[in-house]
C-alpha cells in the first residue's frame, strides 16, 4: 500500500528539484500533478481539493528560507499537510478500567471484521492479555462457524449462542462471562452492514448501548474508493467511532482512503491488517508520522 | 436548470461527478474531453444535451462489450474469481438459485475455497437453501482435488451447470494467481474448451485498484465476464465502467443485497443513469 502514490509524488518533486527558483507557475503545475496522483490513489475528491488549495497557498506565499531550496520547501509543506491529514503519532488501543476492555468491530460487508477480530485477539494474547471473541453476526451463513473455527485454531475462547439470540443479548452475556472468567479484552465481531441499512444500524446502536464498548473500530478495506468517507461519516454519526483499521494492505491498493477518512472524521487509524492468514504479524499499530515520511521518500 | 447553457462549470461538475463515482481520473478526463470536443464540433449549446451525449457514450462503451455472446455448452462450467470479500460465494448462491428456478437447470456447486475458515460451510449452507448439491472436501484440502471431484461428477451427464467457488485472493500475489491457472488446467483435462465462463466479481465500493485487479485476473485465467456486487449501497460502482472498457469484457450481473434473490442482469442504461443520479 502507498508505494505507487509515493512514487508518483516523488516524481513530481524531482522535477521541481531541478529548478533554482520556483515561480507561482511551477507550483501550480506541480500541484496539478499532485492532484491527479492523489485522485488515482483514491483520496476523496473534496479532501484533494482542500489539500491542494492549502499547499498551493502556503507554497506560493512562502518566504524562501536560506537553508532550503524552493523544491525542498514545497516538500516540507506537503509533508506537514500530510501529517495533518493522517494525524501525528500512533493512538494506542484504549484500556477500560476496571476491565474488561470491550472492543466492537464494525463495517461494511466483507471488509475483514471477522479475520481482524481473530488477528487482534492473537495480538493481545501475545501482549499477555486474555481475549474473548464474540460471535455477534447471526446473519451471514456460517459467520459463527468462521469465528469459532478461527478461535479453535488460535486457542482463543469464542462466545457464541448460535443464530437464535439477538446480538445485543449475545454481547451482554459475553461481557458477563468475561467478568467471571477474568478475561481482559472482549472483541465483538458484528455482521457486515451498509451504513444506510436502518434496521441494522439500529441494532448496532443497541449493541453499543448494551455493553458500551470503549473501542468502536471501523474496519475498512484498503481497496475502497471514494465511498470511504461517506461510510466512515455515517458509522461515526451512529456510534461514535474511536478508531479505524485498514485491512488487506498486502495488496497494491494505493490506500488514499486512509488519508481521506482520517481527514474528514478526525478518527485515528489505529491498526493496519495484512494477509488472510491469521498470524500475529498480520496486524500492526499504525504510525501516521512515519507514513507521511515514507510517502515522500524522506 | 436542465435547459442551461454549457459553461466551464458544467465540465467541472461532470468531471467531479464521475470521479466521485470511482470512474477514475484518466477515464473521466477522456470521457469529458471527448464530449466537450463533440459538443464544439456539433454546435451543442445546452447542458442537458451535453450530459446526454456523455451518458450515451458511456452506454455505448458498455453495450459494445455485451455483444460478446456467452458460450453454449452442456455441462457449462463456470469459474468464479475475485479478491477477498468481494462477494463471490454469495453471488454463486444467487446464480444457482436463478438457474435452477428460472431455467430449470440442474446445478452443481464446488467448494473450491478450502482456505478461509468456514468457507465450505458457507457455500454448503447456501447450497442447502437453494436446494442444489455441492462437492466439498473441507478446509485445508487441496482445491485442485475438489475441482477434480466436481469435474468427475458432471461428466456423467447429470448436471447442466457446474459453478466453482474459489478462495479470495489479491491479484498481486503471483503464487495464488498461478493456483487459479492450475485449477483451470484440471478442468481442461476433461473439458478442453472449459471453463465456459470465468466470472470476475468486483465489489462496487472498489476504488482505482479495481482496474489492476481486472487486468491481473484477465491475464491469469482469461476472465470472460464481470459481476458487480453490493450495488444496493451508496457506492455507484463506477470502477466497473473503467474495468469493462479496459479489459474489454461485459458486465453481466449485479448484486443488490445479501439474499439469494438479490441478483439483477446488468443493464447499461440503468447503470449509467444511476451513476449520474444525484442523491
Ligand atoms: N489479503 C488479505 N485478506 C484479508 C485480510 N483481512 C481479511 N481478509 C480476507 O477478506 C475476506 C473477508 O474477510 P472477513 O473477515 O470474512 O470479512 P468480514 O468483514 O467479517 O465479512 P462479513 O462478516 O461478511 O461482513 C476473507 O477472504 C479474508 O480472508 C487482509 O488483511 N489481507
Ligand atoms: N449488501 C450486499 N452485501 C453483499 C452482496 N453480495 C455479497 N454481500 C456480502 O458481502 C460479504 C462477503 O460476501 P462473500 O460472498 O462471502 O464474499 P467472497 O468473495 O466469497 O469472500 P471470500 O471468499 O472471503 O473472498 C457477505 O457478508 C455477503 O453477505 C450484495 O450484493 N450486497
Ligand atoms: K448504488
Ligand atoms: Mg464477518
Ligand atoms: Mg467466498
Q: How many residues appear in chain A?
A: 298
Residue A115's alpha-carbon distances to A143, A151, A246, in angstroms, are 11, 10, 12
pLDDT tens digits along A179-192: 999 999 999 999 99
Cα–Cα distance, B40 to B208 (Å, whole number): 30
| pLDDT band per the 50, 70, 90 thresholds, residue A295 | confident
Q: Which residue in A29, A279, A244 sits closest to A153, CA to CA?
A: A279
Q: So what's the ipTM on this one?
A: 0.97
Interface residue ranges in chain A relative to chain B, Cβ cutoff 8 Å: 36, 39-42, 45, 108-112, 139-143, 145-150, 153, 194-196, 221, 223-228, 230-231, 248, 250-254, 256-257, 276
What is the DSSP track for B13-68?
HHHHHHHHTT--HHHHHHHHHHHHHHHHHHT--BHHHHHHHHHHHHHHHHHHHHTS
pLDDT band for position A66 (50/70/90)? low
**To test the ligand 2 pocket, which listed residue (B84, B87, B130) has its Cβ within 8 A of the most ligand atoms?**
B87
- The 10s digit of each residue's pLDDT in A50-63 is 999 999 988 887 66
Dihedral Cα B159, B163, B165, B170, nearest 10 deg = 150
User: Which of B85, B91, B120, B216, when mutated, tests ligand 1's pocket best, judged by the most ligand atoms within 8 Å of its CB?
Assistant: B85
Cα gap B217→A116, rounded to integer Å: 26
Cis peptide before B195 (omega within 30 of 0): yes
State the helix-helix crossing angle for B239-247 and B268-276, rounded to 10 degrees: 140
What stretch of H or E contains B226?
Answer: strand B225-229
Task: With H, G, I as helix, E, B as strand and everything else as coil, classify residue A28.
Answer: helix
Burial A72-106 (b: 16+ CB within 10 A, else e): ebbbbbbbebbbebbbeebbebeebeebbbbbbbb
Count CB-CB contacts under 10 A for residue A47.
22
Query: B105 in helix, strand or coil?
Result: coil
Pairwise CB contact (< 8 Å): B208 & A41: yes
**Ligand 1 center to A259 CA (angstroms):** 21
**pLDDT greater than 80 at residue A4:** no
What b-and-e string marks burial along B211-227, b requiring 16 or more CB atoms within 10 Å of the CB?
bbbbebbbebbebbbbb
Grade residue A75 by pLDDT with cuts at 50, 70 and 90. confident
pLDDT for A8 equals 85
The Cα-based distances of B8 to B5, B65, B129 in angstroms read 10, 32, 54
Calpha distance B107→B101 (Å, rounded):
10
> Which residues 14-33 in chain B show a CB within 8 A of chain A?
16, 19-22, 24-26
Q: Is B215 helix (H, G, I), strand (E, B) or coil?
A: helix
| Residues on chain B touching A133 (C-beta within 8 angstroms) | none
**Per-residue pLDDT tens for B77-113?**
999 999 999 999 999 999 999 999 999 999 999 999 9
User: How confident is the model over A26-54, as a mean pLDDT?
Assistant: 93
Q: How far apart are CA B35 and CA A106, in angstroms?
A: 42
Pocket, ligand 1, Cβ cutoff 6 A: A 107, 109-115, 137, 140, 143, 191-192, 247-248, 250, 273-276; B 84-85, 116, 168, 170
Using most ligand atoms within 8 A of CB, pick from A109, A147, A224 the residue to mutate for ligand 2. Answer: A109
| B169 within ligand 2 shell (Cβ under 6 A) | no
Do residues A170 and A153 make contact, with C-beta atoms less than 8 angstroms apart? Answer: no
CA–CA gap between residue A294 and residue A80 (Å, rounded): 13
* CB distance B216 to ligand 2 below 6 Å: no
Question: 39-78 in B: which are within 8 Å (CB) of A?
Answer: none
Cis amide linkage into residue B99, ω under 30° from 0: no
* pLDDT over 70, % of chain A: 96
Segment holding A209, helix H or strand E: helix A198-211
Question: What nine digits make up the cell of B146?
Answer: 475438489
Q: How far is ligand 4, taken at its centre, from the CA of residue A112, in Å?
A: 7
The verdict on whether omega for the bond into residue A98 sits within 30 degrees of 0, i.e. cis, is yes
Amino acid at each position: 500500500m502507498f508505494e505507487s502514490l509515493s512514487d508518483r509524488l516523488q516524481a513530481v518533486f524531482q522535477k521541481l528539484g531541478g529548478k533554482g527558483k520556483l515561480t507561482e507557475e511551477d507550483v501550480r503545475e506541480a500541484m496539478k500533478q499532485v492532484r491527479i496522483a492523489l485522485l488515482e490513489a483514491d483520496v476523496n475528491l473534496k479532501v484533494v481539493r482542500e489539500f491542494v488549495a492549502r499547499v498551493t497557498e502556503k507554497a506560493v506565499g512562502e518566504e524562501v528560507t536560506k537553508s532550503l531550496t524552493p523544491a525542498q520547501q514545497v516538500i516540507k509543506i506537503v509533508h506537514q499537510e500530510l501529517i495533518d491529514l493522517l494525524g501525528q503519532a500512533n493512538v494506542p488501543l484504549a484500556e477500560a478500567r476496571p476491565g474488561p476492555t470491550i472492543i466492537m468491530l464494525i463495517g461494511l460487508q466483507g471488509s475483514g471484521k471477522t479475520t481482524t477480530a481473530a488477528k487482534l485477539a492473537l495480538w493481545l494474547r501475545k501482549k499477555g492479555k486474555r481475549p474473548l471473541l464474540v460471535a455477534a453476526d447471526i446473519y451471514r451463513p456460517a459467520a459463527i462457524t468462521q469465528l469459532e473455527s478461527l478461535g479453535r485454531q488460535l486457542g482463543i475462547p469464542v462466545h457464541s449462542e448460535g443464530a437464535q439470540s439477538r446480538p445485543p443479548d449475545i454481547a451482554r452475556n459475553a461481557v458477563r462471562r468475561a467478568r467471571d472468567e477474568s478475561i481482559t479484552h472482549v472483541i465483538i465481531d458484528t455482521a457486515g452492514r451498509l451504513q444506510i441499512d436502518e434496521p441494522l444500524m439500529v441494532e448496532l446502536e443497541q449493541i453499543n448501548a448494551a455493553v458500551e464498548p470503549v473501542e468502536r473500530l471501523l474496519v475498512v478495506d484498503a481497496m475502497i474508493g471514494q465511498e470511504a468517507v461517506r461510510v466512515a461519516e455515517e458509522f461515526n454519526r451512529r456510534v461514535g467511532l474511536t478508531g479505524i483499521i485498514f485491512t488487506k494492505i498486502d495488496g497494491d491498493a494505493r490506500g488514499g482512503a486512509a488519508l481521506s477518512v482520517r481527514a474528514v472524521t478526525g478518527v485515528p487509524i489505529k491498526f493496519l491488517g495484512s494477509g488472510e492468514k491469521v498470524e500475529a504479524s498480520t496486524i500492526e499499530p499504525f504510525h501516521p508520522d512515519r507514513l507521511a515520511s515514507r510517502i515522500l521518500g524522506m | 436548470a436542465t435547459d442551461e447553457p454549457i459553461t466551464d462549470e458544467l465540465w467541472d461538475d461532470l468531471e467531479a461527478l464521475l470521479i466521485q463515482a470511482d470512474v477514475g481520473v484518466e477515464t473521466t478526463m477522456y470521457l469529458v474531453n471527448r464530449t466537450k470536443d463533440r459538443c464544439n464540433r456539433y454546435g451543442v449549446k445546452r447542458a442537458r444535451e451535453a450530459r446526454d451525449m456523455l451518458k450515451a457514450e458511456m452506454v455505448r462503451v458498455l453495450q459494445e462489450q455485451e455483444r460478446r455472446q456467452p458460450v453454449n455448452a452442456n455441462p457449462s462450467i463456470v469459474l468464479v474469481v475475485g479478491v477477498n470479500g468481494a462477494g463471490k460465494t454469495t453471488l454463486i448462491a444467487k446464480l444457482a438459485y436463478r438457474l435452477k428456478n428460472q431455467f430449470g437447470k440442474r446445478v452443481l456447486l464446488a467448494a473450491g475455497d478450502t482456505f478461509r475458515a468456514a468457507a465450505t460451510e458457507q457455500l454448503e449452507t447456501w447450497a442447502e437453501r437453494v436446494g442444489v448439491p455441492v462437492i466439498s472436501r473441507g478446509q485445508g484440502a487441496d482445491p485442485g482435488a475438489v475441482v477434480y471431484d466436481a469435474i468427475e461428477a458432471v461428466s456423467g451427464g447429470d448436471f447442466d451447470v457446474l459453478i466453482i467457488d474459489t478462495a479470495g485472493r489479491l491479484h498481486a500475489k503471483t503464487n495464488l494467481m498461478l493456483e487459479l491457472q492450475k485449477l483451470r488446467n484440471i478442468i481442461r483435462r476433461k473439458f478442453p474448451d472449459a471453463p465456459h465462463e470465468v466470472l470476475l466479481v468486483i465489489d462496487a465500493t472498489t476504488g482505482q485498484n479495481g482496474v489492476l485487479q481486472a487486468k491481473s485476473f484477465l491475464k491469469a485465467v482469461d476472465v470472460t465476464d464481470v459481476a458487480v456486487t453490493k450495488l444496493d449501497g451508496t457506492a455507484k460502482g463506477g470502477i466497473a465502467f473503467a474495468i469493462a472498457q479496459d479489459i474489454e469484457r461485459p458486465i453481466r450481473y449485479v448484486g443488490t443485497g445479501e439474499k439469494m434473490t438479490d441478483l439483477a442482469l446488468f443493464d447499461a442504461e440503468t447503470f449509467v443513469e444511476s451513476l449520474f443520479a444525484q442523491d
